[in-house]
Amino acid sequence: MTKIYIPFLAATLLASCAGNDVADKSTNTASAEKADDRDYHTLSNADSVAVTHLDLDINVDFDKRQISGSAHWDIRQIHPSNHVVFDTEDLTIDSVVMDDGSKADFKMGALDKELGKALSVAITAQTKSLTVYYKTGNATALQWLAPQQTASKKTPFLYTQSESIYARSWIPCQDGPGIRFTYNAKVKVPKDLLALMSAENPQQKSADGSYSFKMDKPIPAYLMALAVGDIGFKSIDNRSGVYAEHSMLDKAHKEFEDIGGMITIAEKLYGPYRWGRYDVLVLPPGFPIGGMENPKLTFSTPTIITGDKSLVNLIAHELAHNWSGNLVTNKTWNDFWLNEGFTVYFERRITEAMQGKSYVDMLWELSHQDLEASMKGLPERDTWLRLNLKGRHPELGLTDVAYEKGAHFLWLIEKTVGREKFDIFLKDYFNSHAFQTMTTSQFLKYLDEKLLNGHDDWKKAIDINAWIFGPGLPANCPTPDRERLSKVDAMIKKFEGGAIAADLGIKDWSTYEWLHFLRNLKTSVKAERLADLDKTFKLTQTPNSEIADIWFVQAIKAEYEPAYPAMKSFLLVTGRQKFLEPLYRTMMETGKAQMAKDIFAVSKENYHPLAQKNIEGIIKGDNKYE
Ligand code: BES
Ligand code: ZN
């Protein structure tokens, strides 16, 4: 369930990486590979000349669908160099100006299909800062929505998604997770719109569409974010609130009203929240992912707003990133599990504190099912926690391995050393590495020094190597109690044995019981059985996107046609790839290619460019990632 279906671009990238020996079997390269902490996904020379601060001054032009302006960068020269190199993707560089007003010499490198182009600027030993004047092209990070794609239908909307390496498509920057900088920004937008960033934010519109932002903590480029639209704000407490399009605001506020308590729980676990305010921005439904941990302002899909708070663990996840990820950041995308695995573990701890153990045990179980399923489709080398993405796009690391194998590994450590000791360890880990980057080997060293040293029995029980530098799911993987889901298993049996829905005695099921029930129904369930379930539980009409998605998958398989109109409406507005992918794929796999094409033709415009590409791949039949 925590699966982010479809690494962006997976289809195209896999094809283009076919010549790359993914599972490098030669053992003598193994130790060199483990020690190689270079970031292969930035073209910058941040090891020699690193940016430290950005003053961004940009204009957002909805007619041209273009951002233009300047990026003034302060730089620090670590090793002597006569140039500083930035990442760019489809940017036009108009000029580069030195502090004394003189034009700098610059040149663009050759186009790398995945990494973009290097912008290399000549500097002297005295250069402390410079300004790049630029405009965006077809920027991967930007989704521009026409007015009719918003709730109000009156004004356009724009949002960014910079992770993993897309910040370079709207700002010339040193775009690696190991490179941090503070920033100020001036952003000019049409005057009836509000602009928000991953920074201190306004709570209401300005008179003339000019906004100023400040982020005084150093962050990596993938956390640069901007959203512009007819957005309102509603406060939750003195340090948190919700932003959304006006018609969503009250609903979103109600769903997220417990966020204050969530932050307090997180702080009790792993130390103070260090970013000042914590707000959530609810985006239009085309947002291609579930959530993004932009500092001070989590970006969220509206598909978690169900009316019963059952999907707010996604907010717990993005909140948790303010420790794991935003405070202590993976140095390279090979160490992605340090961001996501830690965050899933932390998210579950928050959820456990809020909902109880038997509830969170269901999340562990369902995610374990996801993990097993997705590992089956991955090349063996991509199932190690420490990835090797050299020469490949970082999105290929965006699988359940980083998330769930990572979280299960931490859960195993917790179970081995005891929760109390592990919590102290983690709190110290976040505190002592705040605003720093972390590699897998640094983490393992720290783990050994601070927690495992002198405890050979623990080390043996955990078997770090098998988890980090080995494939699949080691045999010592912890499993949750199945107190609640075993009852669901009994219901599945009963239903498959012929019992009618009304006689199952299902009541007070949470989302997760439903998900377990629906996803584990045999593929041979016939349409009339689904009709019976639907009549009793109104599943076609469910306001819960997670339940709807798996229900529609079953409906496609069983050709339960009464669910199709609702499914089509769902696919028309929802751009979240986790939901799109299984539905389009199931249509393709069950001989309904025409239906998939027809739905895609009318819905396409509402999907993010990357999601469009991905679904096109599925429809063409060339996405064989899993
Ligand atoms: N940071 C990720 C999203 C991401 C990762 C985007 C890598 C692009 C590249 C975010 O925190 C995330 O994990 N979102 C999940 C939420 C879920 C795990 C609760 C999502 O969008 O589904
Ligand atoms: Zn995450």
pLDDT at 524: 83
Sequence-ordered alpha helix ranges (H) in 283-418: 313-320, 336-355, 357-376, 400, 406-417
The protein residue with its alpha carbon nearest to ligand 1, atom 22, reads 290
Give pLDDT, residue 44: 98
Distance 341 CA to ligand 1 centre (A): 11
Q: How far is CA 267 from CA 157, 215, 275, 408, 427, in A?
A: 34, 21, 12, 22, 9
Measure the N-to-C terminal CA separation of the chain; round to a whole number of Å: 15
> Which pLDDT score, from 0 to 100, does residue 12 have?
33
Q: How many Å lie between the centroid of ligand 1 and the Cα of residue 28? A: 34
User: Does the beta carbon of 400 sit less than 6 angstroms from any atom of ligand 1?
Assistant: no
Residue 97, phi-psi category: left (phi > 0), alpha (psi -120 to 50), beta (remainder): beta
* 402 alpha carbon – ligand 2 mean position (Å): 10
Q: What is the CA radius of gyration of the chain?
A: 24
Count of Cβ atoms closer than 10 Å to residue 268 Cβ: 12
Atom 6 (ligand 1): residue with closest C-alpha?
163
Give distance in angstroms: CA of 140 to centre of ligand 1: 17
Distance, C-alpha 607 to centroid of its chain: 16
Asked if residue 293 has its Cβ within 6 Å of ligand 1, the reply is: yes
Alpha-carbon gap, residue 400 to 385, rounded angstroms: 10
Which atom of ligand 1 is nearest the CA belonging to 318?
11
Instruction: Spell out the residues 6+ positions from residue 309 whose beta carbon is closer than 8 angstroms to its own.
Output: 255, 258
Which segments of the chain have a pLDDT < 70? Answer: 1-30, 622-626
* Alpha carbons 542 and 305: distance in angstroms, whole number: 12
533 ligand 1 Cβ < 6 A: no
Ligand 1, atom 17, lies closest to the CA of 2
Q: To test ligand 1's pocket by mutation, which of 175, 289, 312, 393 has the most ligand atoms within 8 angstroms of CB? A: 289
Q: Name the residue at shortest CA distance from atom 19 of ligand 1.
A: 314
2 lines ligand 1 (CB under 6 A): yes
Mutate to test the pocket of ligand 1, among 223, 292, 614 (most ligand atoms within 8 A of CB): 292
Bond from prior residue into 164 cis (ω within 30 degrees of 0) = yes
597 CA distance to ligand 2 centroid (A)? 31
Nearest residue to 379 (alpha-carbon basis) of 31, 35, 37, 7: 7
Instruction: Please state, in angstroms and as integers, the Cα–Cα distance from residue 198 to each residue in 296, 376, 436, following that order.
Output: 6, 37, 18
CA 441, 443, 449, 455 torsion-angle sign: negative
Distances (CA, A) of 307 to 152, 256, 280, 353, 496: 21, 10, 17, 21, 31
Closest C-alpha to 547, from 574, 576, 511, 523? 511
Residue 399 Cβ inside 6 Å of ligand 1? The answer reads no
Using CA atoms, how far apart are residues 37 and 145, in angstroms rounded to an integer?
39
Q: What per-residue confidence (pLDDT) applies to 8?
A: 34
Host H or E run for residue 442: helix 440-447
Determine if ligand 1 sits within 6 Å of the CB of residue 546.
no
Q: Is the CB of 553 under 6 A from ligand 1?
A: no
Give the dihedral of Cα atoms 435, 440, 443, 449; nearest 10 deg: -150
Structure tokens at 569: 């409406």
**94 membership: H or E segment, kind and range:** strand 91-98
Whether the CB of 328 sits within 6 Å of ligand 1: no
Burial class, 28, CB count within 10 angstroms (exposed 0-12 / middle 13-18 / buried 19+):
exposed
Check if the beta carbon of residue 574 is closer than 8 Å to that of residue 285.
yes
Atom 8 of ligand 1, residue of closest alpha carbon: 163
- Asked if residue 314 has its Cβ within 6 Å of ligand 1, the reply is yes
Sheet with 142-145, side-by-side order of all strands: 142-145, 157-160, 226-229, 194-197
Residue 327 near residue 274 (C-beta atoms within 8 A): yes
The structure tokens listed for 476 are 């010592």
Among the listed residues 211, 273, 403, 512, the single catalytic one is 403
Tell me what pLDDT residue 28 has: 57
* 267 a catalytic residue: no
CA of 314 to the centre of ligand 2 (A): 9
Q: What is the 3-state secondary structure (H, E, C) of 499-563?
A: CCHHHCCCCCCCHHHHHHHHHCCCCCCCHHHHHHHHHHHCHHHCCCHHHHHHHHHHHHHHCCHHH
Cβ of 164 closer than 6 Å to ligand 1, yes or no, is: yes
Task: Name the 3-class secondary structure at 575.
Answer: coil
Task: Name the strands in the sheet holding 106-108, side by side, starting at the edge strand that comes first in the sequence.
Answer: 83-88, 117-122, 106-108
**Does 446 qualify as catalytic in the annotation?**
no
What tens digit of pLDDT does each residue of 582-607 get? 999 999 999 999 999 999 999 999 99
Q: Whose CA is nearest to atom 21 of ligand 1?
A: 290
Q: Ligand 1: which atom is nearest the Cα of residue 293?
A: 11
Position 20 scores a pLDDT of: 32
Q: At what angle do helices 511-519 and 357-376 cross, to 10 degrees?
A: 30
Q: Is ligand 1 within 6 A of the CB of residue 360?
A: no
Ligand showing the shortest atom-to-Cα distance for residue 2: 1
pLDDT of residue 18: 29
Atom of ligand 1 nearest to the CA of 321: 11
Which atom of ligand 1 is least distant from the CA of 336? 7
The active-site residue out of 89, 114, 245, 318 is 318
Cβ(409)–Cβ(467) below 8 Å: yes
Closest-CA residue, ligand 1 atom 1, reads: 292
Atom 3 of ligand 1, nearest CA residue:
292
What's the predicted TM-score (pTM) here? 0.95
How far does residue 194's CA lie from ligand 1's centre (Å)? 25
Of all ligands present, the nearest one to the C-alpha of 315 is 1
Q: State which residues have CB under 5 angstroms from ligand 2, the bound ion.
A: 340, 343
